[in-house]
Chains A and B, each alone.
Chain A
Amino acid sequence: MENSPRKGFWEAMNSLDRRIIFLILLVCVAVPLLLNVGAPIPPTPPVQLAYDAVESLEAGDVMMVSIDFDATSAPELMPMLHSALRHAFSKDVRVVMLGHIAIGLPLGHMALEEIAAEYDKEYGVDYVDLGYRPGYIAVMIAMGRDISDIFASDYQGTPLAELPVMTGVRSYNDIELLFGFEHGAVIDYWVRYTQARFGQRMTFGTTAVMAPDAYPYLQAGQIEGLVGGLKGAAEYENLIGHLGLGTRGMPAQQWAHLLVIGFIVLGNLGYFFTRRKG
């Protein structure tokens, strides 16, 4: 028996060449990026809370920044890192950077140098990069007693005692806020071993896919705020009044989401019609 025209159409749609899907997605992402458009995104409560946590810091306070991602997550996390650093430096907060993903730390270092230059901040006086030490949990717990036991020097080998920015900074007691940028399970370690044990105030920026993992900590009050994904980054940019890569990337994300929604609906219609008639 011959197929009806409608069934033929849906069968053809069901066997659509994946390269056509790839091409449509490429256009949906590339065109908004090339047009370089983007409007401010209103902040949601989790991002507002993260902003408030940094806003509560005073000049001279210390914010520890943890780089726990690499290039795979840079498009989502770099915009929020830039915003957080701008926010901290604009308030003359001292920034102490470290990281638990060795291959991602240079990204954090480059962002630190770039944003510090915008605010005429001096390395060693206003900010420092401690670098990387292996051991995740061991590093986190040991810093609760004495940071210099683990980080005897900064990434260049300069002893911490010779860096004015580290004056009076011995352990978590001297760090007002930890702002971690996460694309994996390191956020769990920070919360379990640093917040739960030492009571460290902390807030996080995560990839969109990781944000659901952080919601229990946010609701329990273990973390003060949460910047999730590119949308969160765009919201943070709006809050500090400096629209950047997050805001410019949102149209591309919007069209990609709409496209995926369209594909899901179309795929299910095809499934429904071919199954019904078959």
Chain B
Amino acid sequence: MKRSVPLIITFLTGFFLVVAFFVPHEPFGELEQRLLVWFAIVSGFTMLLGIDNLIRSHARRIARTNTGWGHSIVLLMGLVVTVVVGVIGFSRLGSPFHIHSPFMFVYTHVIVPLQGTMFALLAFFIASASYRAFRARNTVATLLLISALIVMLGRIPIGAAISDFFPAAQEWIMDVPQLAAKRGIQIGAALGAVSMSLRIILGIERSYLS
């Protein structure tokens, strides 16, 4: 009973949604819309679960003074401060996202620069890796390396200034071999998704119950 009820719910939900895709008329259309709204609401609650998990795990780390417990304090303080300024913005201006709200100040001056800095570091590691790891060790690696050089040159103005070949070759690489490989991967992934969905709907795949 404990396993069959969830399996029946999964089967009926999956079945009705598949039917609704092909028959968007009543009652399927309305039922699908209702289920989608429920999904959006449930998704919202998963954020609460995430916050709960975040607080618990970092509070535990602080209490036990595990490695990095100082970082956990900063993280929890960041969480509290962001929530507080959000609530202040909501109560004073009607929305934390109002352009003059304190939340937007924190967002603009802390969150955005921090995210930008973290991602910008990637450029330095790519430059270092390109020097140390991108080697023509065999034929395939050499082909990849030559393609990369042509695409990089084709995507900057100096490439076109050197020769019209580079922008044209860059476009060809993107339009033909790259696209063929990408399309193959996408078709494979889609077939895998269909297969897995059918397995779940039919109750063959049950790992989500455990």
Contacts and interface: CB of A to CB of B under 8 A. Distances in A.
Interface of A: 14, 16, 18, 21-22, 24-26, 29, 39, 41-42, 44-45, 70-75, 103, 105-107, 109-110, 113, 129, 131, 133-135, 138-139, 141-142, 145-146, 149-150, 155-157, 197, 208, 211-213, 215-216, 219, 229, 231, 250, 253-254, 256-261, 263-268, 271-272
A190 B158 CA distance: 35
13 contacts: A21-B124, A72-B115, A110-B108, A134-B47, A155-B95, A156-B98, A212-B179, A219-B179, A260-B126, A261-B153, A264-B130, A267-B134, A267-B135
Interface stretch (B3-11, B32-40, B73-81, B200-208): B32-40
Nearest to A75: B116
Contacts of B111: 71, 103
B178 A212 contact: yes
A215 B182 contact: yes
B130 A268 contact: no
Interface size class of B (residues with CB under 8 A): 35 or more
Given A21-B127, A113-B99, A155-B95, A215 B156 contact: no
Contacts of A42: 160
B36 A109 contact: no
B158 A258 contact: yes
Interface in B163-202: 167, 171, 174-175, 178-179, 182-183, 186
Nearest to A136: B43
A229 B118 CA distance: 19
B124 A22 contact: yes
B152 interface: yes
Contact of B158 (A44, A74, A254, A263): A254
Given A103-B115, A138-B43, 10 more contacts: A14-B132, A71-B115, A75-B116, A105-B97, A107-B112, A133-B40, A135-B43, A139-B36, A157-B94, A257-B156
A72 B118 contact: yes
Can you list the 8 inter-chain pairs with the closest CB atoms, starting with the nearest? A71-B115, A134-B43, A135-B40, A72-B119, A138-B39, A263-B131, A142-B36, A135-B43
Contacts, number: 163
Contacts of B107: 106
A215 B112 CA distance: 29
B40 A138 contact: yes
Interface in B119-154: 119, 123-124, 126-128, 130-132, 134-136, 145, 148-149, 152-153
B40 A197 contact: no
A44 B46 CA distance: 42
B44 interface: yes
